[in-house]
Every structure is written in structure tokens, then in C-alpha cells.
Amino acid sequence: MVKNVTFKEAWDGIADCKVCALRESVLFSGLDEDNFEQIHDPIDQYTLPVGSTLYRAGDVGDRMYTIRSGVLKLVQYLPDGSQRIVRLIRATDVTGLECLLGENYKHDAVVLQPTEACSLPVKVVEKLSKENPKLHRELLNRWQRALNEADAWLTELSTGSAKQRVARLLLRLVSDAETSECQLFAREDMGAMLGITTETASRTIAEFKRQSLLVETSSNHFLLDIPNLQRIAED
Amino acid sequence: MVKNVTFKEAWDGIADCKVCALRESVLFSGLDEDNFEQIHDPIDQYTLPVGSTLYRAGDVGDRMYTIRSGVLKLVQYLPDGSQRIVRLIRATDVTGLECLLGENYKHDAVVLQPTEACSLPVKVVEKLSKENPKLHRELLNRWQRALNEADAWLTELSTGSAKQRVARLLLRLVSDAETSECQLFAREDMGAMLGITTETASRTIAEFKRQSLLVETSSNHFLLDIPNLQRIAED
DNA sequence: CGAGGCGTTGAATGGCCTCAACGATGGTGG
DNA sequence: CCACCATCGTTGAGGCCATTCAACGCCTCG
């Protein structure tokens, strides 16, 4: 199920954070010239194909990752082997924060949509965080953001009927509220996010399509009927 | 449903953290003499009865709380008014971390079992955290701990059949693995933790009692058949 | 062209929810 | 002190919704 893509294959080179197009919205937004000069370990940049694994639960955590584009799932496993997706990671997010506490990764991080990521050695982040209060505060923000997401998944995506859950997930996936555009995931993944079976996810999506709550514009790209989906979500 | 107990009624006095019996396991474990002398704002200590509310979602967050004993639930609400319990807070836990980022409280914090809590003004924690790296690291630890809990609730307590979820909840509630002793919550609360109805929670608990997986020793105190509950949980 | 993965759909089952009733308990006020 | 009421846990009956198991078409890829 999970393809094996080594990092060497995906390596894009060494990032120059100072000229990073995303710098303003990313972890390092608060850094200044001096800070950047203290980055001796290289910050590698990768392009990761769908299905590849960024890190695995239990691995020794020595790197954090900022996502420049794309989507990943964080997966946890139950003793019986079934999987549950506990969060999505998207552009400008940081994942692997647990490294900062010397802990192993808590999830598998698997690519759902083609992803560009920068790999930050823990040592670098630790050092900069000590010297730059802005970066430090930004780290706390990320932690809280992850916590908010986790809570929202529990209350929104694991509560209510299958229809409600799917509707709430779709509304969360809308990238641009104006165009109401949205890319879907494999039904199996949607099930693992919502705590329902693959078949139920499929049936619900299919029904939404028939009701024109969901209109396919191109392969796997959809326009949403936001008002009516909201009605279903809150019903 | 929620009793109104003002803090004045519950006030126990001003805490002397230096001689706190729990100091080793609590947020301030890393502080030294100098640090304590910088605490000018008083740290109040409260005893909170069951049903009282420590803080409410949306309130301006200016205080964090360390729990000396007891249990609280963190509750979030859905648009339709139904509630979902996203986490439990117990002895030595800290809650209200979001204050440190200047955010409002994200949940209602409601007492489930008689609780002793200390109220820490954000200003104090902020100041000490800047000066004492140990305390600071301890704060990060608490954030990560909350995140781990949130993830575990999603994978363990919101996945699988009602029987499995109840069994997993019970196993989490065992305070002492030796004696396998455990105090239960109201069925309505158990339902809100597990994403099932009150009736299903009640039915499941009742069935566990009939099967002697759960033996009542005194009012609302139970001994658990841990091995068999584990079998059900993982089944 | 065949194989395998994925989305969809059908039929049947069963588990959970809904609505309802009832007993036990504990607190309140007469 | 006791009658009363509200709350809570329990249980029953019935129905619905999600699961399970299965089959089929479509697509990509080797």
C-alpha cells in the first residue's frame, strides 16, 4: 500500500530560507539576518510523490518538516491493525514538533497530494528558538494549532451521522471559499478520517454527487454547494 | 445542569508553592528560590465541587490552572448544541495553556470529581518561563501531552464498537494497575467521551457488570477484570 | 492484454439510536 | 419526619443506518 520512496530520489537541493517565497507565512518568518547566518546544518528541500512516507511512528525524531505545498496525513494504528487518520498537514504547516522534546515520531506521515517539504534539523530549530523569541512563540503557536485541529476532528469529524461527517470534511477541504473548489481523497482515506467504512464514504460521496452538492470539474476536482452542505453538516 | 459556584465560595487561600506537596510532579518542579521570589501576584488555591465550572469556552484567558487532585472534563459544543468531551484533566495536569498565546479558552472545563486546583496568572507563568528554561521545557511537555491525549482519544475512544470503546475507556481510568480500582462517570458523560448515546453507554456498562468484568465495591467504585477487558478492547 | 487497484452499488445483517417507561436515589420543603 | 420531586441508571421495543460481504465496471500500468 505504501510505496517506498527514498529521500535521495526526492531531494531537490539545499534550501535558501532567506529568499524563500513562503517565508512570511512559515515557521521562520521572525528570523533576521544574524539568525540565518547561524544555520550551519543544511536545510534540505524535497519533492515527495503521493504515497511516500515522510517519517514513521516510532522513528527517532531528529528532523522537523515545514510543508511548502501539498497534503500529508498523520496516521495512528490500533492494536488490531486498522488505521485512523488523526490530522492533515498542509502548506505552511510544521510537523514533527515532538522532536523538540526528544521524543520519537508519534505518527506515520504519508503524502496524499504531491508535496514540497523542507527538512529542519532539530538542533537548528532548538538553537534558533533559544535566540529568537519570535520563532519561539511561533513554535508554541504551531503546537496550539495542532491541538485545535485535533479537538476539531473529534467534535466535527467523529460525531454525528456519516452524511454530517462527510459534509463537514468537505467544507474543511475547500481551499478557496470564493470558487468553492476542492480536491478529494481516496475513499479509504476519507473513511479513516471520519471513523466510517470505505463503502459508507463512497456511498455518501456518490449520493452528494447525484444531488449536485458536489460537481466534478476535472478528474478529482470538485465544486461544492457550500450552503446546502452546511445545512447538512449542522442539521 | 451546570451548578453555579463562584470562585469566592471555593477559595482556599493563597498557595505557597515552595512547600507544595506536589511540587516535584507539577509545572513548577524546575523552579529555584530566586524564581519563587519573583512571584508577586498571588497564586490562589481552590477546592471545586462536582458540577462547577473552572472556565468557559470563549472566556478571556488570563489564568492557567494546575490540578492538585480530582478530575475535570474539557467540553466542546457542536452547532446543534450537542456536546463532546475532548479530554480529561487530572492530578498534576495543567489546563488553559492557550492563555500563553493570548487566546480565549477553547473549552468549558467542568468538574467531574471533587477538585483542588491552583490558579496561575498568565503574567507569572510568562515571566518565569522566560527566565527558567526548565519550566519552559515543562510547558512544551504539557502541550505535547495534551496532543498525545487528543490523538489517543480519537484512535482509541472514537473508533470501533461501543463495547470496545467502553472497555478502552475503563482501562484508561484505572488509577492503580495493581488494585485495578476505578471510579466511573455519569453515563451521559461517558457517552459524550465515546461518541455514543447515554443509553448505549448504560447498556454496555450494565452488561459488563453482569459478566463480572466490573465489580462494584462501594458506591460508584469498581474493580476491573483487566485481562478480559483488554481482550474486548483489542478484539 | 491481463492484473490489480479503486469507486460504486446491491442485499442482508446487526448494532446503535430513538422514544418510552420504570425503579432507585437523594435532596427539598412542608 | 415524611411526602414529593428531579435526576439518574436501567431496560424494552422498534426502526434506521452503517457495516459486511460480494460483485462489477473502469482505469492505469506492466
pLDDT tens by residue, A139-182: 999 999 999 999 999 999 999 999 999 999 999 998 667 788 89
Element (H, E) at A94: strand A94-95
Q: A235 or A180, which is more confident?
A: A180
Question: What is the SS3 assignment for A176?
Answer: strand
Find, among B40, B31, B29, the residue nearest to B123 by Cα.
Answer: B40
Residue B1 pLDDT? 31
pLDDT of residue A1: 32
Contact in structure between B138 and B64 (CB atoms under 8 Å): no
Q: Which domains does chain B show, CATH number per domain?
A: 7-157 (2.60.120.10), 162-234 (1.10.10.10)
Backbone angle region of A13, left / alpha / beta, with phi > 0 → left and psi within -120 to 50 → alpha: left
Extract the C-alpha cell encoding A137: 512563540
Q: Is the pLDDT of residue A214 over 70?
A: yes
The share of chain A scoring above pLDDT 90, in percent, equals: 69
Element (H, E) at A82: none
Distance B207 CA to D5 C1' (A): 30
- CA–CA separation, B36 vs B58, rounded Å? 31
pLDDT in tens, B64-107: 999 999 999 999 998 888 899 999 999 999 999 999 999 999 99
Question: pLDDT digits over B172-187, tens only?
Answer: 998 667 788 899 999 9
What is the value of pTM for the model shown? 0.91
pLDDT for A80 equals 81
> What is d(CA A86, CA A96) in angstroms, rounded to the nearest whole number?
14
The pLDDT score that the predictor gives to residue A100 is: 96
For residue B127, how many other CB atoms are within 10 A of its CB? 16
**Distance between CA atoms of B81 and B76, rounded to whole angstroms?**
10
Q: Which residue of A has its CA nearest to B160?
A: A195
Mean pLDDT of A12-34: 76
pLDDT at B213: 97
Instruction: Flag whether residue B81 sits within 8 Å of chain A, measured between CB atoms.
Output: no
Read off the pLDDT of each residue in A71-96 and give the average, rounded to a whole number.
Answer: 93
How far apart CA A17 and CA A24 sit, in angstroms, is: 11
Residues of B with CB below 8 A from A195's CB? 158-159, 195
Summary mean pLDDT of chain B: 89
CA distance B194 to chain A (A): 9
Strand C nucleotides with an atom less than 7 Å from a protein beta carbon: 6-10, 15-20, 26
Three-state DSSP state, A11: strand
Share above pLDDT 70 across residues of chain B, in percent, rounded to a whole number: 93
Say if residue A3's pLDDT is above 70. Answer: no
The nucleotide minimizing the C1' distance to residue B194's CA is C16
How confident is residue A60, by pLDDT bands cut at 50, 70 and 90? Answer: very high
For residue A55, the model assigns a pLDDT of: 96
Give whole-number Cα distances, A95 to A39, A136, A187, B198, in Å.
20, 15, 24, 37
Task: Determine, for residues A150 and B147 on separate chains, whether the beta-carbon distance falls below 8 Å.
Answer: yes
pLDDT for A175? 67
Q: Is B76 close to A148, i.e. CB distance below 8 A?
A: no
Q: A235: which chain B residues are within 8 Å (Cβ-Cβ)?
A: 80
Each residue's pLDDT tens digit in chain B (235 positions)?
A: 333 445 556 777 787 777 776 776 677 787 777 777 777 667 889 899 999 999 999 999 999 999 999 999 999 998 888 899 999 999 999 999 999 999 999 999 999 999 999 999 999 999 988 888 888 899 999 999 999 999 999 999 999 999 999 999 999 998 667 788 899 999 999 999 999 999 999 999 999 999 999 999 988 899 999 999 999 999 7
Indicate the residue of A78, A147, A235 with minimum beta-carbon distance to B155: A78
Distance, C-alpha B148 to centroid of its chain: 14
What are the chain A neighbours of B143 within 8 Å (beta carbons)? 140, 143-144, 147
Tell me what pLDDT residue A86 has: 98
Please give, one letter per residue, the 3-state secondary structure of chain B.
CCCCCCHHHHEEEECCHHHCCCHHHCHHHHCCHHHHHCCCCCCEEEEECCCCEEECCCCCCCEEEEEEEEEEEEEEECCCCCEEEEEEEECCCEECHHHHHCCCCCCEEEEEEEEEEEEEEHHHHHHHHHHCHHHHHHHHHHHHHHHHHHHHHHHHHCCCCHHHHHHHHHHHHCCECCCCEEECCCHHHHHHHHCCCHHHHHHHHHHHHHCCCEEEEECCEEEECHHHHHHHHHC
- Confirm if A54 and A90 have CB atoms less than 8 A apart: no
All three cell numbers of B77 = 459544543
Cβ contact, residue pair A106, B160, below 8 Å: no
pLDDT at A6 over 60: no
